[in-house]
A = this chain, B = another copy of it.
Amino acid sequence: MKVAVLGGTGEFGGGLALRLADAGHEVVVGSRDEADAREVADEYADDTGGDVSGATNSGAVDDADVAVLAVPPEYAADTADDALSGFDGIAVTPVVGMSREDGDFVYTPPKEGSYAARIRDSLDDDVPLAGAFHNLAAGKLAATHVDIDGDVAVFGDDEAKDTASELVEDIGTRALDVGGFGVAPQVEALTPLLINVGTKNGIRDAGAKFV
């Protein structure tokens, strides 16, 4: 598939772009800065031997089958609104927002209840949207020579869930259907919990397995 990773110059987006390229997908790294995107794409292509190019976020989604919104939470809605206007592929959100309170990371949902709901509100109505990849650490994604020992919770109410699950399995992780958009807060809230588990118990790039 042709997958646009919007925010693909960032740490998380970059790790995901590397894994997807490594799995044989055609990857377009999207960024607000096209020169940055192209430079980083060349590095990812060298690292993986894969097909990686760079573009602006809007340019990256041209002809893409899938667009992953790997952007910071504060830009997610605007990116969905601007870059994905008129998009005729499938959108995937891995977006999570959190803050630090008394030394612990805590989930900070927006007024819509979840980042997924906020993005759904900003996207064109006819763009299918699923949630996936939230609970994979950037560091674990970037280390493409190591298999990821962890599961990925996937949610959605339309056909995007199948496509997102396929991409999850393609990078060597297990996709687990956890329901529709109503469960988005629980999936997004798992990420700060995993960070706390990791930092307090010496588990590097902590992830979850469901047993």
Contact = CB atoms under 8 A, between A and B. Distances in A.
Interface residues of A, number: 37
A102 interface: yes
Contact of A211 (B189, B196, B208): B208
Interface in A162-178: 176-178
A173 to B, nearest CB: 11
Interface stretch (A36-44, A66-74, A198-206): A198-206
A14 to B, nearest CB: 22
Contact of A177 (B106, B183, B200, B210): B200
Given A153-B197, A206-B210, A189 B192 contact: no
Contact of A179 (B103, B107, B185, B210): B103
Contacts of A176: 197, 200-201
A104 B153 contact: no
A183 B192 contact: yes
Contacts of A194: 210
Interface string A99-111: 0011111110000
Ranked nearest first, the 6 interchain pairs of A and B with the lowest CB-CB distance are A104-B179, A186-B193, A101-B182, A178-B196, A209-B209, A186-B189
